Amino acid sequence: MIFFYVVVSVIVLSILVTIHEFGHFIVAKLSGTKVNEFAVGFGPKIFSKKYGETEYSFRLMLFGGFCALAGEDETSNDKRAVTNQPWYTRLGIFAAGPLMNILLTFILLVIVFYIVGSPVPIVGSVLSGYPAEKAGIIPGDKIVMVNNTKINDWDTLQNIINSNSGIKLKFTIERDNVILTKSIVPTYDKNASKPMIGIVPQYKRSLLLAFSTGTKQAIFFSKMIILSLYMLITGKVSANDLMGPVGIVQAIGTEAKSGILNLMAFTALISVNLGLLNLLPFPALDGGRILFVLIEKIRGKPVDPEKEGFVHYIGFILLIALILFATYRDLIRINIFK
């Protein structure tokens, strides 16, 4: 079982990191910036081949990868070194990695929702004993309006129900081309921890719906991550709750066991997490490099590349320390020390 978890996690994380580094790579190449090496993995080289000026390598430890740009952390006389590129070019190169992860999140979610379908405001089934059944709602009913709000999608309907626990709502229903009205009071369900009327939606498959639902889910994931970061920074959640590499491997393995679509959705969550975290203005992260580019633009002259490189090195050490701490917390959570 552990072997399965590790293999699946290596595949997933390798894809995410390779996509991220490819973002840096492709923008660097398109802008004429010199790329010394593009590597999948860290550590000793298993395979490498040089095409033109760039070496492409496959390395032993697959939990990572890198795109080595000429002059990235040092002064260089090469006109094509990244440090000698215009500020907007460097901004584009550094931002491309995180943006590729965010794009991958969207693509994965669109694929998932195209396969499973997207919920629409048409009743698929009615739960026994709930308000909808008592009001006479039946499968096939299309909910077109609640009070004075037009219902175009399932999310709008859910939001109205969630916001009106215990309040009578007027539902306008279309049934066999006949318009009906029903009065329904959402009741709080302890098991679901939210107000419900007891209906399950129909699911429809279309590329347009998949794009719409995938976009909404990607935005939801992003908001959830930003809120979690805010709560961590403000102390509303403990650093002990951070998930490290061991926790991620365990979570990926669990999702993989429950099916490929669950794994794809979870991979989308990790991908947007990777993208947004890398945009944080912290040394060693892409956001830190973007910050230095913006500082240069504001002050009118560049920061010494070697000094900037030292700052990023310190940031890298701090990130490693954070990863080790999170790993330790993972091991405690799974009771490895008992």
Catalytic residue selected from 21, 37, 72, 255: 21
> What is the distance between the alpha carbons of residues 169 and 146, in angstroms, rounded to a whole number?
7
> What is the distance between the alpha carbons of residues 338 and 327, in angstroms, rounded to a whole number?
16
> What is the distance between the alpha carbons of residues 180 and 195, in angstroms, rounded to a whole number?
23
Q: Which residues have CB under 8 Å from 233's CB, separation 6+?
A: none
What sign results for the dihedral spanned by CA atoms 282, 286, 288, 291? negative
Q: Which residues have CB under 8 Å from 269's CB, separation 6+?
A: 105, 221
Q: Which residues have CB under 8 Å from 99's CB, separation 6+?
A: 23, 275
296 given a catalytic annotation: no
Buried b / exposed e along 34-45 (16+ C-beta atoms within 10 A):
bbebbbbbeeee
Looking at the annotation, which residues are catalytic?
Answer: 21
